[in-house]
Structures are given as C-alpha cells and as structure tokens.
Amino acid sequence: MDEISFSDIAIVSCGTLNLELSHLKKEGFLDAEKIYYTKPGLHQDCHELERQLIARINMAKEKTDKVIVVYGGKFCYVNVDQPTRTMQKIIEEQGPGVGRVQATHCMDMIADEAERERIAQEVAGGEKVWWMTPGWVEYRHQVFEGWDQGIANENFPKHTGGAIVLDGIGYMDKYMAEKPEEFLEYCDWMGIPMQGYPVSLDRFKSLLLDQAKILMEH
C-alpha cells in the first residue's frame, strides 16, 4: 500500500469500530493525530448521533484541519423526521477538510457486498445472514439498547443463515474461549447461532487511505 501518513489527520468514528482502529494503530498503519469516538449504537438515535458527531468533529478541528469520519453513509444515520437529511449532508456542512469513508455501514467497511455474499454462500448456503463486527459483540448492550426479547424475536430469527461476525482482529476466538457463557447467552437471546469469520482489514485500510489522499490533495 502507498506510504501515506495520517499524522496530521484526525479520525472521528463510531465507537463500535474502536477495536479495529486500535488494532490498526497498534500495528503501525494508523498514526492519526487523534481518534475521537461517539458512543456505540447511536444508529438507533439519529439526533444524538448527529449531536455527538458534530461535537467530535469540532474537537478534531481544534487539532488539525483534516478529519476523516468513520461512519456509514446509508444505514448509520436514518432521520425519519427529515428523510432528506443524510449523513452525506451532515459531513458536507462541516466544511472542506472533512471527508467520510465511502461505505454504507461498519460491516461494509470490513467486507464489501460481493465479499459478504461470498461468505454467506460459503458459511450459510446463501441463507439470509445477520452481519456484525466485533464491536457489536463487545458493545452489545449499547448497540441493542432498548431491545427486549420481543424485539429480538422479531428481528433475528428471520436470518436463517445465523449471525456472522466479520472478524479482522481475531476477536471471536478469544471471546468464545474467555466468555463461553456470555457467548451462549448472546446466541440464545438472538435465537440464532453466531460465528466469527476471519477477514483481513485490507478493505478498511484502503477506505481510510482513499480519504487521506483526497484530504491531502485539497
């Protein structure tokens, strides 16, 4: 990959992805000036998401004039009251030094649609899959805040291919070894089996690099 430094770029991300971003930092790929996180699970509360996102971007702008937002465009922010208000609009309002990784949601940042289809074919025979990233396991109680068993029963069981965690950091093996009861309890609550699927973080890296390049050119 091209040698691009993130040293004068700040990252503002959904807290759900802090496991992947911390991993990229540890391995030396991501030398960002600062990384700011919003609370995991804010896709359920678009107004709070917008408030926290803008506040974090403003904090980031105090450190640097280049900011990459790690949020999906389509599914992370859905404003029912103002359907024309989109994530893209919010980002544009933040000015020229702010860019967003081009993906629809966190799962898409780790594996694109074609890759997810391939995995679903391989693991679930093409059945409908509930996709997750490790953050959906780690921050389960925030991501599914307000979900009772009834809501869970309405949502999960129609995913007959089960839940697949797109794991680019070796999270699931460790989780299942260290917290087997919690793992089984999570599967019971969803009413579908859950398994990790190892993937690389190459797509995530290239999405970050693409935005870094764009910001460098302006």
Mean pLDDT of 99-107: 95
The share of the chain scoring above pLDDT 70, in percent, equals 99
- 97 in Cβ contact with 218 (< 8 Å): yes
**Which amino acid makes up residue 107?**
M
Average pLDDT over residues 51-74: 94
Q: Helix, strand, or coil here: 16? A: helix
Closest CA to 101 of 74, 64, 137: 74
Instruction: Give the side-chain half-sphere CA count within 13 A for 13.
Output: 22
What's the order of all strands across the beta sheet hosting 67-70?
34-38, 10-14, 67-70, 98-100
Distance of CA 27 to the CA centre of its chain: 19
Measured torsion, CA atoms of residues 139, 150, 157, 45, in degrees rounded to the nearest 10: -40
Q: How much is the pLDDT for 1?
A: 45
Which of 176, 159, 179 shows the shortest CA–CA distance to 167?
176
CATH architecture of 10-107+201-217: 3-Layer(aba) Sandwich (3.40)
172: its two tokens: 């699931």
Backbone angles phi and psi of 20, in degrees to 5: -70, -45
pLDDT band with cut points at 50, 70 and 90 for residue 74: confident
Average pLDDT estimate for 83-99 = 92
pLDDT band at 79 (very low <50, low <70, confident <90, very high): confident
What is the tens place of the pLDDT at every residue in 19-60? 999 999 999 999 998 999 999 988 778 889 999 999 999 999
Instruction: With cut-offs at 50, 70 and 90, classify the pLDDT of residue 81.
Output: confident
Residue 64: strand, helix, or coil: coil
Instruction: Give me the mean pLDDT over the 189-203 stretch.
Output: 97
* pLDDT at residue 82 tops 80: yes
Is 42:49 a contact under the CB 8 Å cutoff?
A: yes
Point out the least confidently predicted range of 56-65, 74-83, 184-193: 74-83
Residue 89 is predicted with a pLDDT of 92
Quote the pLDDT of residue 26: 96
What are the counts of helices (DSSP H) followed by strands (DSSP E) for the chain?
A: 11, 7
Using a pLDDT cut of 90, give the percent of the chain over it: 85
Every domain of the chain with CATH number 3.40.50 lies at: 10-107+201-217
* Local confidence band at 2 (pLDDT 50, 70, 90 cut-offs): low
Nearest Cα to 27, choosing from 60, 8, 63, 1? Answer: 1
Q: Model confidence at 182, in pLDDT bands (50, 70, 90)?
A: very high
Report the alpha-carbon distance of residue 173 to residue 179 in Å, rounded: 10
CA 58 – CA 52 distance, rounded (Å): 10
This prediction's pTM: 0.94
Indicate the average pLDDT of the chain. 94
For the segment 110-158, what is each residue's pLDDT rounded down to a tens digit?
A: 999 999 999 999 999 999 999 999 999 999 999 999 999 999 999 999 9
Identify the pLDDT of residue 68: 97
Distance of alpha carbon 39 from alpha carbon 13, whole angstroms: 9
Rounded to an integer, the average pLDDT of 80-96 is 89
